[in-house]
Structures are given as structure tokens and as C-alpha cells.
């Protein structure tokens, strides 16, 4: 039996997300945008809730195509607000559209959103090597710095805790526990 981070043992959805996506370094802007929106949507909710709705988000947010989302008008916004398959929080949906626009602006400035994000760590993964779940942080100075910069650039509904979770998800921060099989795979 594979040893996993404890949070990933609660459901098959969480296990699959952990095993296939979470904490695996990515520089793919499409994935980076999707993860950013999922983390934003998760605020105040369980991760299982978000994973349960992930496919519905893909369907109703044009496969997380930030170019399309950036162009959403009031009619599309109203349609999303009435879609029971997704999180229908006005502030989160407004932030999703706004952040798609800002994501594109960052790409225009840095070539890719990935270039922007990974530059904060000189394109290196930060590996905190936690032995237990209690050693895993919920935020740090890097997350605070990135949050401050993103807000300065006009991003919304992002705080240091959301950004720290985002950095974990997209693999810039490796918080897989030391005995987790994914950590061992990443070292190969």
C-alpha cells in the first residue's frame, strides 16, 4: 500500500488529486490558471467539495480558458450565477473573470505567468521536508510577498493562505510528507 499525505486518504477524489496533480511542479500556464481558480473557489469550503465540482467548473468555465473567461459579459456572469453545478458565490465569480484578465496582463509582461511566478524562487522548488502534517505551514513570507504583488497587479480574492495552498498545488512548494510516495517519485 502506498504511503500518502494524510489529507489525501479521505476520499478517492482527494487521493487521485494528490497522486496525479498536487505538488507536482508545473510551468504550464493553463494548469496554473486552473489551479489558481480552484484555490480561490475553495476559500471557506472543503477541498473535497471543489474536487467534486472540478469537472463542472471545466464545463461551465470553458475548460478554464482564461482568454475566454476574460471576455465574459454580464449575460455569461448571470448564467454562471444560476448554474447549480458550480460554486455560485458572486465575489468568487467576479474574481475569476477579473483574475483571468490580470493573468493575461502578467503573461504580456513576463512572457508567461509561469515565468512571473517561478521567478520568486529563482525557478527552484522550495522543499520544506515535513515529517508530519503539523509541520506543514498554512502560509509563509513568500506567499505574503506574492499575494501583495498580485493584489498590486489587480488580482482579487487572494490572500496569503490561498496563495500558499496554490504554491503547494502547483509544486513550487513541496510539502509532501517525507514518507509520501509522491515525494519519492519527484526525487527521481
- Active-site residue (options: 17, 22, 118, 166): 17
pTM: 0.96
Q: 112 near 27, Cβ under 8 Å?
A: yes
Active site residue 135: no
Structure confidence at residue 129 as a pLDDT band (50, 70, 90): very high
Q: 23 near 172, Cβ under 8 Å?
A: no
- Active-site residue (options: 22, 47, 66, 116): 47
The fold for domain 6-187 equals: Endonuclease III; domain 1 (1.10.340)
CA distances to 13, 28, 66, 73, 88 from 47, rounded to whole Å, are 10, 22, 22, 28, 16
Active site residue 47: yes
Question: In sequence order, which ranges of the chain are alpha helices (DSSP H)?
Answer: 12-20, 29-42, 47-60, 66-69, 74-81, 90-110, 113-118, 141-152, 160-169, 181-187
pLDDT digits (tens, 9 = 90+) for 48-97: 999 999 999 999 999 999 999 999 999 999 999 999 999 999 999 999 99
Active site residue 34: no
- Active-site residue (options: 14, 22, 39, 116): 39
Structure confidence at residue 136 as a pLDDT band (50, 70, 90): very high
Structure confidence at residue 187 as a pLDDT band (50, 70, 90): confident
Amino acid at each position: 500500500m502506498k504511503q500518502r499525505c494524510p489529507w489525501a486518504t479521505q476520499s478517492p477524489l482527494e487521493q487521485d488529486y494528490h497522486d496525479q496533480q498536487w505538488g507536482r511542479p508545473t510551468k504550464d500556464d493553463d494548469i496554473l490558471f486552473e489551479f489558481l481558480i480552484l484555490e480561490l473557489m475553495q476559500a471557506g469550503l472543503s477541498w473535497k467539495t471543489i474536487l467534486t465540482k472540478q469537472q463542472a467548473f471545466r464545463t461551465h468555465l470553458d475548460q478554464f480558458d482564461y482568454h475566454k473567461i476574460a471576455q465574459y459579459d454580464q449575460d455569461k456572469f448571470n448564467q454562471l450565477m444560476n448554474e447549480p453545478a458550480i460554486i455560485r458565490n458572486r465575489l468568487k465569480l467576479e474574481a475569476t473573470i477579473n483574475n483571468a484578465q490580470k493573468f493575461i496582463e502578467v503573461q504580456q509582461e513576463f512572457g508567461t505567468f509561469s515565468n512571473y511566478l517561478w521567478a520568486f524562487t529563482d525557478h527552484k522548488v522550495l522543499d520544506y521536508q515535513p515529517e508530519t502534517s503539523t509541520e506543514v505551514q498554512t502560509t509563509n513570507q513568500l506567499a505574503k510577498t506574492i499575494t501583495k504583488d498580485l493584489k498590486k497587479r489587480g488580482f482579487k480574492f487572494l490572500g496569503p493562505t490561498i496563495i500558499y495552498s496554490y504554491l503547494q498545488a502547483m509544486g513550487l512548494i513541496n510539502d509532501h510528507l517525507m514518507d509520501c510516495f509522491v515525494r519519492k517519485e519527484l526525487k527521481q
